[in-house]
Amino acid sequence: MRTPSLPLTLAPRRRPLVMGVVNVTPDSFSDGGEWFEPEAAIAHGRELLAAGADLIDVGGESTRPGAERPPVEEELRRVVPVVRALAAEGAAVSIDTMRASVAGAALEAGAALVNDVSGGLADGEMAALVAQAGIPFIVMHWRGHSTDMQSRAVYEDVVVDVCRELAERVEALQESGVRREQIVLDPGFGFAKTAEHNWALLERLDAVAALGFPVLVGTSRKTFLGRLGRPDGADPSPPTERDLATAITSFHAAHNGAWAVRVHDVPSTIQALDVADALFRGDSKENA
């Protein structure tokens, strides 16, 4: 298996890494398939890097509520050329997939980490692949595929339940050979969660961090942000109008020790993290 072009560390950081999103799908909720063709996706990845992204997350399967899964051959066709091109240019590339075969092909093409929204639950071979590769593995809280996940948004206490289920998933992964130091946790904003659940989790990011693992926060352009300030019953704002709200959640994530934030619009989040640096780490006094 090819060694990633840029090894990553999961050690605590002064500020979160910025993971830029490249959706190589025709039906993404956030950009409507704007980067579906490989050439456009590669160009967009370069733009995100130029804007300051530390990582590029390449995905070929839409996980919007109700989305159907593409055939594995189609997912491979979408993502592998993009991963290969960006990794060859020195980018740290994450492969966003629930399939071990796609993850393996992406690692061969130069990906540096695996971002699995199912945390290894959707494919029984994923844990063994990640354990053998020894690369970082992002484990998201997940209760089922997009076609029916919102029917499973039932919790006694969403913060307690999500933390317990993540801890159980980590234990199972470790029993399958994945080392503790490989694991990053993602509370799964928007996946089998109502708006109220998302806000509760965002408020209590400290509880997720208390599990003792690096945390990825992925709120970017999610529908619950699009409902802010809208009348009851009104449609949410369009996804591309949610970047300011996303940047504010990135600020909050930085204040709560997140390892990385996954975003579609990099410049607004970079500015939010600069403000967090100035407020919480004294940069404003140094540069006054």
Select which of 15, 169, 204, 262 is catalytic.
262
Is 285 known to be catalytic?
Answer: no
Select which of 84, 193, 222, 242 is catalytic.
222
CA 242, chain centre distance (Å): 17
The one-letter code for the residue type at 191 is: F
Is 262 known to be catalytic?
Answer: yes
Active-site annotation, residues: 222, 262
